[in-house]
Amino acid sequence: MASTWKIVGALACTISMSATMIIFNASLLQGFRHPVWLTFWHQSVSTACVVLVRCLKPSLVSTGDEAEGRPALTFFSALRLGFPIAATQCLGLIAGNTAVMYLSVGFCQMIKAWTASAVYVVGCFCGLQHWSIAVAKTLLLITFGLMVTSAGEVKFDPYGFLMQVTALFSEACRINLVEIRLKSAGYKLNPLSSVMLTAPIASVLLLIIGLVTDGDAITPEVIQEVGEVKLLANGLVAFLLNVAIFLAIQVCSGLVYSLAGIVKDISIISGSVLILGSQVSMMQVLGYSIALGGIQIYGIVSREPSRFQDSGLVRGLWQHMRNPAAHMVAPEGVGMEKSKLETDSADLELGKMGDVTGDTTGSIRDSRERHALVATKDECD
């Protein structure tokens, strides 16, 4: 019973922190329309916090593994491996924060339902995934659901939509870059060590971008108008979301975390309606439901696409529903690190980091690692 309450508490904390972060950002950006500087602030606060964590307990942010004989990343190796990841992350965060200035938070969250599909498509182009007709059919279902959702958007803005799609594919590129740059070298990062690797690099990049594109935006008067306490709280929530994700993936199975991601998405959409006054039409509810169903089917099909290739998608799903145990991947042990289940990659700023929050090889393996990779997405998108 104690472990059950621990899981419930960890998931409740993660869901509430993720929803708070996204709605908090959207609220700030309604008056403080400088997404580059807001993202820079998140990364800077996270850098300071993760340095403090490293001073207090270095094992939480270690990038090495003595048991496997893998040394920790040096400064130059971290810069070499982490720079392209941080660059795509910056693009995604800026685009995601820009999108909520033009679109409702609920609609942005619905568009993120295509993130896992984007990871798969980009992975195919990078050679990390194998293209499958069966998987392609599930992507078409998700795409159809999002088309219905877009058609039902009351305040559709083409520029905002373009920014959210840019954020989505930037996140997909980042996740695949982690696979190419880090995992191929044997490094596995949790949400905190991921922040330590990318946040300092991202802070420098965002500072340069901010000075070049929006250099006159930040003045003492502007900061005072927004509120120093509000900005500090916003930055701390961005970092604490990663801590919450770190704790959740220590105690939850891949399936539970994946299902919690759906609850999180619904909570964010509901919160945007109740707190920010966003409008959600019945057509959007229908389209998003179709997309969520497609995501669940994608999670099933992507684990063993060849079986659905032979029997057909509909027949294969029917056989799976009749006897799901016969088609489950054999468990390797207890804990998320042994699960092969798909997750809802997005939520994943920093942020979601992903909310929840993905790496790819075959069918995007190891849920714990995947959520560690997307953990930095939920906070700002």
What are the pLDDT digits (tens) for 232-250?
999 999 888 878 877 776 6
Q: Per the domain annotation, does 323 fall within a domain? A: yes
Q: Per the domain annotation, does 171 fall within a domain? A: yes
- Distances 316 to 19, 117, 127, 293, 301 between C-alpha atoms, Å: 36, 20, 26, 16, 9
Q: Per the domain annotation, does 379 fall within a domain? A: no
Q: Per the domain annotation, does 380 fall within a domain? A: no
Joined together, the tokens standing for residue 61 give 């942010």
Beta carbons of 36 and 94 less than 8 angstroms apart:
yes
- In this predicted model, what pLDDT tens digit does every residue of 108-132 receive, in sequence order? 888 887 887 888 888 888 887 788 8
Q: Per the domain annotation, does 381 fall within a domain? A: no
How far, in whole angstroms, is CA 142 from its chain's centroid?
Answer: 18
Q: Per the domain annotation, does 242 fall within a domain? A: yes
- In this predicted model, what pLDDT tens digit does every residue of 320-353 receive, in sequence order? 777 665 554 443 333 333 333 333 333 333 334 3
CA distance 320 to 89: 37
- 72's enclosing H/E stretch is none
Q: What is the number of other CB atoms lying within 10 angstroms of the CB of residue 35?
A: 24
* For range 44-52, the mean pLDDT: 92
Q: Per the domain annotation, does 180 fall within a domain? A: yes
Range name among 26-30, 111-115, 152-156, 181-185 with the lowest pLDDT average: 181-185
Number of domains in the chain: 1
- Distances 144 to 114, 163, 187, 313, 350 between C-alpha atoms, Å: 10, 20, 37, 17, 29
Domain that residue 194 falls in: 2-62+70-374
> Which residues pair with residue 70 across a beta bridge?
65
Specify the higher pLDDT residue, 17 or 336. 17
Q: Is the pLDDT of residue 187 over 70?
A: yes
Q: Dihedrals φ, ψ of 112, to 5°?
A: -65, -15
CA distance 249 to 245: 6
With CA atoms as reference, report the closest residue to 110 among 327, 291, 260.
291
User: Would the pTM count as exceeding 0.75?
Assistant: no
CA distance 375 to 236: 15
CA distance 297 to 291: 10
